[in-house]
Homo-oligomer: A and B are copies of this chain.
Amino acid sequence: MKRLEAIPLLVAGDVRPGDSLLELLMCALRRQRLRPRAGDIVVVKHKIVSKAEGRIAPLAAMQPDSKTRDWAKAWKHDARVAELAIANARRVVRMDRVLITETPHGFICANSGVDLSNVDGGASAVLLPEDPDASARRLHLAFRRRLRLHIPVIIADSFGRPWREGLTEAALGVAGLKPLRDYRGLRDPHGYELHATCEAVADELACIAGLVCGKLEGTPACLIRGYTYQRGNGSAKELIRPAERDLFR
């Protein structure tokens, strides 16, 4: 049987605005003696993408209004983070125990994805990439130019889920593969036609990065080998449930 492999990529040192993700990842691949092959997929945690793109905001510049300060005090949150999250939201979905927003991309997540970990010790926050699909596409095309290979790229962040505890990784940006695998219309070995089966493979691939990259290990990307993906232009927007199909609107 074909096996799937996932290999964490070690990116040494800090990623800074202007750094080339291609060079950082090529360097990691060389050092780990990994030669990318046709069929490989690269998953990158969004944080190094955001850092390379300069999506970093110093918290000292934030001036939260009194409503946000009161909320933050009541729920023991950082008012500057909340202010930054609201400034980077299309709408606030919920603001009581937690701050859930809809980002300009359409993602629904805590604090608009604003994150203080693995940045500079708490003085600055990292925002989500402005256009994660475009970021994925740039890296995908850069791999093609450098390696003459079609390497799909997924940009991942960890999101909470309404009904379940704990975070799982979700695909924010996709290039080079179809994020959804549609089984509808296919028949099982008993001749039964599948109806409701459309699998979010880009999110499941992102979850592998959650497992092998960890949160603290300096391995903000991984190479996935042995998964037979469906080629496509792809866009993580396909993974966003449109309002009329959303289970809560």
Q: Which chain B positions have C-beta within 8 A of A169?
A: 204
Once the chains bind, are B166 and A200 in contact (CB under 8 Å)?
yes
Chain A interface residue count, Cβ-Cβ cutoff 8 angstroms: 73
Once the chains bind, are B204 and A168 in contact (CB under 8 Å)?
yes
Q: Does chain B have a CB within 8 A of A18?
A: no
Shortest Cβ distance from A155 into chain B, in angstroms? 15
Q: Give CA–CA (A240, B166) in the complex, Å.
A: 9
Q: Give CA–CA (A200, B215) in the complex, Å.
A: 13
Shortest Cβ distance from A171 into chain B, in angstroms? 9
Q: Which chain B positions have C-beta within 8 A of A248?
A: 162-163, 248
Q: Which chain B positions have C-beta within 8 A of A246?
A: 162-163
Shortest Cβ distance from A129 into chain B, in angstroms? 18
| A contact patch SS | loop
Interface-forming stretch among A62-70, A130-138, A142-150, A190-198? A190-198
Q: Give CA–CA (A201, B183) in the complex, Å.
A: 26
Q: Give CA–CA (A199, B157) in the complex, Å.
A: 12
Q: Which chain B positions have C-beta within 8 A of A98?
A: 247
CB nearest to A181 among chain B residues:
B166
Once the chains bind, are A10 and B5 in contact (CB under 8 Å)?
no
Chain A positions within 8 Å of B, measured between CB atoms, are: 1-10, 32, 94, 97-98, 100, 108, 110, 116-122, 158, 160-170, 179-180, 183, 186, 188-192, 194, 196-201, 203-205, 207-208, 210-212, 215-216, 218-219, 227, 238-241, 245-248
Closest 5 A/B residue pairs (Cβ):
A166-B200, A204-B207, A121-B190, A207-B207, A162-B247
Would you list 9 pairs from A and B whose C-beta atoms are within 8 A, ordered by A residue?
A1-B10, A1-B32, A5-B5, A121-B191, A162-B162, A166-B203, A167-B199, A168-B168, A183-B216
